[in-house]
Amino acid sequence: MKTPSKIMTIFYFMLIMLFVIGLSTISTRIWGGKPEQPVKPDTLMIKKDMTIGQFGQVNALSDKVLKDIFDLKAKSDMEKKLDEYGTINEINSRVTERLALASENATKNWIKIPVKFGFWFAFLLMVFILSKKQKITSKIRNRLLFSAVFIFGVIMGSDPGPMGTVKDAIHLYGTAHAIFPPRMIALSIFLILVLLANKYICAWGCQAGTLQDLIFRINRTDMRKAVIGRQIKLPFVLTNTIRFLFLCGFTLAAFFWGTDIIDPIDPFKIFKPMYLGLFGGVFLFILFFAGLFVYRPWCHLFCPFGLVGWFVEKISLVRISVDYHTCIACGKCAAACPSTVMEAILKQDKFVIPDCFACYTCREVCPTDSIQFSRRKRILPPLDHFNTIKKGLEKGNTNLQNTKKGV
């Protein structure tokens, strides 16, 4: 197949970005365009001798909101004093929590969310069936990635997404000491998917992750060589350290300053571009452009769910493993893998295995079908497995050359 030119690769990149931004703008308007960031309650005016009714008037809170916050049973309860419900600090905390939860609830489209999860389950099941039948090739992979971007990002929007279940949960608790139950349910579902089948939701369902994956692969030839520049594999110790420190910084900012440092540069906002400022737009353009050369840069360097999912991934029931009885140690799987994970899985010589996104590139190139995505347990390779095979191949090549020379 003809190798794509550098100009065409840049053209495809720009086309994908314009496609996502343009159609996402239309899709957002259709869905209603609710902002993802919950409204932070204003500073409350509280005096101990206030009645609940007076408190509501001063802070522009409706009777319905007051009824929910203070569990009022009758209209006469509006004349109760605030000090009946605790100290000023306790009341402030209670009101802030309830308003934050109400704001969270108001930003959610409760029709779209269950529909999106339904599509997720159906799509992931389809990919799993294709993988079991070993039908995922480079062309089919790109089509699946494009479909995921289009369905879960362009059409269904930025919310919900795996990252938000961790990011927004930390920010909400840090600012209002509140826990939003629907988000915890979504997080549990995503983590169960990781537990069942590696980082399957990240690999094939996450709208921001699949967009990065697709961009990375348009800069690859059929021989898995970069069309533009060089595609590099960052050391996992570097990427995971940055990701851990970034999550720590995000958590500290949320708890001490009530700030969401991810929000301005949230990659999921590419599917809701009207809420993306100039700084965020420039950052995301650089991020996705970097994705031509580095595999899933946001996932490896910044994503909170990526880090949490990586821990759960250690005990996944179904994951990539190698059969060393048939493995010929050719190294094609490690070379074709877009990150450093396959080399770690293949040789099992690293204390920590990096993120595996179950993209099946390793299985696609394996000449002996030694790689499986199954419940098979990962085991250590036989002692000196790679050196023994290498010496055997070198000896075989030497004998073949001697035969040709008539020795």
Write down the pLDDT at residue 390.
Answer: 55
Please give the DSSP secondary-structure letter assigned to residue 80: S
Regarding whether 217 and 197 lie in a shared domain, the answer is yes
- Overall domain count for the chain: 3
In a domain, 59, yes or no: yes
**Which residues, 6 or more positions from 286, have their beta carbon under 8 angstroms from its beta carbon?**
none
Structural domain span for residue 355: 318-386
Regarding whether 215 and 103 lie in a shared domain, the answer is no
Regarding whether 335 and 192 lie in a shared domain, the answer is no
Counting beta carbons within 10 angstroms of the beta carbon of residue 26, is it exposed (0 to 12), middle (13 to 18) or buried (19 or more)? exposed
In a domain, 398, yes or no: no
pLDDT tens readout for residues 74-125: 888 888 888 778 788 888 888 888 888 888 888 888 889 999 999 999 999 9
Regarding whether 101 and 11 lie in a shared domain, the answer is no
CA-based radius of gyration for the chain: 26
Regarding whether 323 and 250 lie in a shared domain, the answer is no
Per DSSP, the three-state class of 400 is helix
Regarding whether 16 and 147 lie in a shared domain, the answer is yes
Q: What percent of the chain has pLDDT over 70?
A: 91
Regarding whether 332 and 183 lie in a shared domain, the answer is no
In a domain, 45, yes or no: no
Has residue 398 got a pLDDT over 70? no
Single out the residue in 90, 107, 124 at which a domain terminates: 107
In order of 115, 286, 389, 400, the CA distances from 395 in angstroms are 59, 49, 10, 9
> How long a stretch of residues is the chain?
407
Write down the pLDDT at residue 281.
Answer: 94
Regarding whether 220 and 123 lie in a shared domain, the answer is yes
Q: How far apart are CA 94 and CA 90, in angstroms?
A: 6
Q: How far apart are CA 360 and CA 138, in angstroms?
A: 9
Has residue 172 got a pLDDT over 90? yes
Q: How far apart are CA 300 and CA 330, in angstroms?
A: 27
